[in-house]
Amino acid sequence: MNKTLLALDIGSSVITAVIAKNDLDLKINILGTGLEDSYGINKGSIVNIEQASNSIKNAISKAKRSTSNPIESTVVSVSGAHTKGIRSMGSVNVPNGVITENEINQVLQMALYNATIVPEYEVLHVVPIAFKVDDSNDVENPLNMNGARLEASVYVATVKKTALTNIKSALRQSGLEINNFVLDSYATALSVLDQEQKNFGAIVINMGASTTEFACYKNSSIIFNDFVPVGSNHITNDLSVMLHTPPNAAEMLKLKYGSLLSNVVSDDLAIKKVKVPRIGDEQNTSEISLDYVQTIIHARVEEVLILIKDRLKQSGIQERIGAGIVITGGLNQLKGIKHLASLVFENIPIKISNPINIKNGYMNFEDSTMSTTVGLLAYSLNNRSGYELDSNKILRKQIIQKSKAHVPHMAPKDVPVKEEIKEEIMHKSMDNEVETLLPKLSKDKKGKGLSSFWTIVSEWF
């Protein structure tokens, strides 16, 4: 499928709209982009539908200016503010002895059916943690394997229905229907982790304007996600309150002089103090020590990192991570953030990362604030996405697309085909993967008799 896609990242500070589609080589082709300041959105939630609708509409309008392609599909990010993660298991018989995509779909649907989901919550993702064929060990991809029984352990990400309804209402004014929702932290993990980090397991922390979202990604699967309602805007507010200065002056102070390193407070080491206007009396200024500014910033960032550490300890996930912690989002540009995170998380490796770059003529995607947006594009257009049930409870899968390129049948026997042409044909005939859909499994096919193996799996994760 090669539909024109609108990817919409609804952030608390900026709304990003990107129109894209795959080109003939199945690479992401950016057709238009739009950025708009967020209004009516706070801590990942819509608090004023009218204001949010206008911001979304303006971002989409800006993106549409560069392309005449009609939007055929829409994917929207969902904040982890109102999400719950659930682990579940399912099993199905394999009647023909060979596992097909129908059996994979059925076992994921069965695991979803077995999950205990709170009535006011809706499913975002059903991602397989591991498959098992008969008595085998973990199987990453069971397709075409021989066996009599297929089992799956899954992570089910759910979100409050009201949160999705509010997003739909805000988008309705633009005349667009949402085809898919994607968890913010899941999209972020897809955009910043390399294959080695995904295999060994990594925790991705996205430090945004008013929220900090984090998720654990391991073996091509998200296995945990959580949320802290604190971000860079809280640092600005702290500076404004503690220094008795207007928010815009506090923001400037944070951006220009913000640091977590005791020996580096600014580019000009001679500067030890700065003058800032007083709130309510902006004609007069106060002289503030940069050491004091640094102390305020340090306290807030350290608090966020400790909150994340405590959440990870409670989940038990932190002990199972081999590739360490990856920090992205706007706050990862703060000087000294890596050093402070290393102290808080002790012996866990810390990496500051930006998303993979998508070459285009509109904007730079290799920016830490674009992590979720790039992840939305990767989730929807990258042809290497694995099996899972999306927010419509439909299987996302990979198939082989046969190339039309072939050696001409009428080539004379005495005129051999050049080796370069042969190599080009072989290259073009390689597997091209395309997202397709499979039907849902009816509830009357509920499986029973899960083996004790899955008790061990659930304890491990």
Sheet with 388-389, strands from edge to edge, namely 83-93, 149-160, 121-133, 388-389, 395-396
pLDDT for 424 beyond 90: no
Residue 27 reports pLDDT greater than 80: yes
**Per residue in 270-320, pLDDT tens?**
678 899 999 888 788 999 999 999 999 999 999 999 999 999 999 888 777
Which of 199-208, 401-410, 418-427 is most confident? 199-208
Q: Which of 381, 380, 353 is nearest to 368 (CA)?
A: 353
pLDDT at 452: 44
For 238, 259, 303, 304, 305, the CA distances from 299, given in Å and listed in that order, are 10, 12, 6, 9, 10
Work out the average pLDDT over 362-373.
Answer: 92
d(CA 322, CA 243): 42
321 confidence band (pLDDT: 50, 70, 90): confident
Tell me, what's the pLDDT at 269?
Answer: 52
pLDDT in tens, 146-184: 999 999 999 999 999 999 999 999 988 778 889 999 999
Share of the chain above pLDDT 90, in %: 66
- pTM here is 0.83
pLDDT bracket for residue 136 (50, 70, 90): confident
pLDDT in tens, 77-132: 999 988 999 999 999 999 999 999 999 999 999 999 999 999 999 999 999 999 99
Tokens (6 digits) for 306 = 């400790």
Q: What does the block give as tokens for 353?
A: 């990362």
pLDDT tops 90 at residue 423: no
Model confidence at 267: pLDDT above 60: no
d(CA 235, CA 210): 10
CB atoms within 10 A of CB 415: 7
- All structural domains of the chain, each given as residue ranges with its CATH number in brackets, are 1-193+353-398+436-461 (3.30.420.40), 404-432 (no CATH)
Q: What is the pLDDT of residue 232?
A: 93
- Average pLDDT of the residues in 50-70: 94
